[in-house]
Amino acid sequence: MSLPRIAIDAMGGDEGVRVMVDGAAEARRRHDQFKFLLVGDETRIKQALESHPNMRGASEILHCEDVVGGDEKPTQALRRAKSTSMGLAVNAVKQGQAGAAVSAGNTGALMAMSKLALRTMPGIDRPALAALMPTLENHDVIMLDLGANTDCDARNLVQFAIMGAAYARILTGREQPRVRLLNIGTEELKGTDQLQEAAAQLKAATGLAMRFDGYVEADKINRGEVDVVVTDGFSGNIALKAIEGTARFVTDLLRAAFTSSIRSKVGFLVSRPATELLKHHLDPNNHNGAVFLGLNGVVVKSHGSASAAGVANAVAVAARLLEESLTQRIAADLAELGEARLRDGDNHTAGAAK
């Protein structure tokens, strides 16, 4: 299947052009149907492409020297959207020059530019940032929102659940992904008014392509018992960083333990296959590619520190969402929710009339 080309913000991320081009090339080695619009300094991009013959004929360069700074405020970046590599990559999606955009740059700026250029889908009040996290099972868990919206009401959370479930159906193949709201307990009376109202709406909704299972606590996110974890961006970002920090802590603790003595070093050699598996499972590059859900277009955020392999994974996420028509799936689910509310309203009116 021929996919629309993917716009790459080649100037974003900690290492910029080299890693972004290397990542695109690795993605193309995995799937030779990928084509790219590389946005950034033409001279530097051409230098990076010299070692990747597989990119010849599959890439077009859009020259741009202006870059969004890592600590630049979104409002400042928005003023330069038409002149920066990030802004031009997103605009390529708006203009139909690319099917999706991938950037490893400033998250806040990327969200602001994407929202302004692509707008939110009908029925979606706010876009949400969704990412994949490892679990004890053979599938990742999707968590959203992870920082795009610090304060959310029940309506936002319900919309996040619908978008996350549509994404999960693509990744897991489940027709009814298991969806839960992040809370401080699993009892029905726990949590804020917004959480309880969102839970009530999701329980009452019929016909949605998901299985709402109530609440989940933070220590159960990675157990593999849920496919989608829904929360506001403030709580989600804290939970994400706590999980990533714990993963690094465990890795560093093991490294220190295995190098503490000759006996420990011997033990490391014996257990190396298991520790390598653990390292692979916890490596954020293997789960790279957060998605801005709810926009009229696909935009994927790569870790700023991602390796070439991590960038390749982010590109693969963008391509899969295009191939599986994520935006259309979300639109269909929103329409179903609207019809369900109309049916419930009609039933309520009919019951009152009696």
DSSP secondary structure string for all residues of 300-333: EEPPTT--HHHHHHHHHHHHHHHHTTHHHHHHHH
**What pLDDT is recorded for position 339?**
55
- Integer Rg of the chain from CA: 22
35 plus 74 within the same structural domain: yes
**Domain count for the chain:** 2
249 plus 138 within the same structural domain: yes
CA dist., res. 180 & res. 301, Å (int): 24
95 plus 204 within the same structural domain: no
**What pLDDT is recorded for position 282?**
58
167 plus 277 within the same structural domain: yes
| CATH assignment at residue 12 | 3.40.718.10
171 plus 275 within the same structural domain: yes
Q: Say what the pTM is.
A: 0.84
DSSP-H helix ranges across the chain:
17-30, 42-49, 74-79, 85-94, 107-118, 154-172, 193-204, 233-258, 262-282, 308-323, 326-353
To 5 degrees, how large is the angle CA 114–CA 116–CA 118? 60
**Which residue has tokens 């018992």?**
225
20 plus 30 within the same structural domain: yes
CA dist., res. 49 & res. 83, Å (int): 23
- Determine the structural domain holding residue 112 and report its residue range: 1-119+295-322
218 plus 329 within the same structural domain: yes
**Which residue has tokens 């706010």?**
126
Print pLDDT tens along the chain (354 aa). 456 899 999 998 778 899 999 999 999 988 888 899 999 999 999 999 999 998 888 999 999 989 998 888 989 889 998 999 999 999 999 999 999 999 998 888 999 999 999 999 988 999 999 988 888 877 889 999 888 888 899 999 999 999 999 999 988 888 899 999 999 998 888 889 999 999 999 998 877 889 999 999 999 998 889 999 999 999 988 988 888 787 778 777 777 776 777 766 665 565 555 555 555 555 666 778 889 999 999 999 998 888 888 999 999 999 988 888 888 888 888 887 665 554 454 454 344 444
**What pLDDT is recorded for position 178?**
94
13 plus 141 within the same structural domain: no
224 plus 354 within the same structural domain: yes
- Contact indicator for 84, 66 with CB cutoff of 8 Å: yes
**What pLDDT is recorded for position 276?**
54
Q: Read off the tokens for 96.
A: 């139909």
**What pLDDT is recorded for position 37?**
95
The neighbour count for residue 291, using CB atoms within 10 Å, is: 27
166 plus 285 within the same structural domain: yes
307 plus 246 within the same structural domain: no
62, containing H or E segment: strand 59-63
132 plus 181 within the same structural domain: yes
Q: Read off the tokens for 91.
A: 């605009």
**What pLDDT is recorded for position 182?**
95
DSSP per residue, 239-286: HHHHHHHHHHHHHHHHHHHHTSSHHHHHHHHHHHHHHHHHHHHH-GGG
**What pLDDT is recorded for position 346?**
46
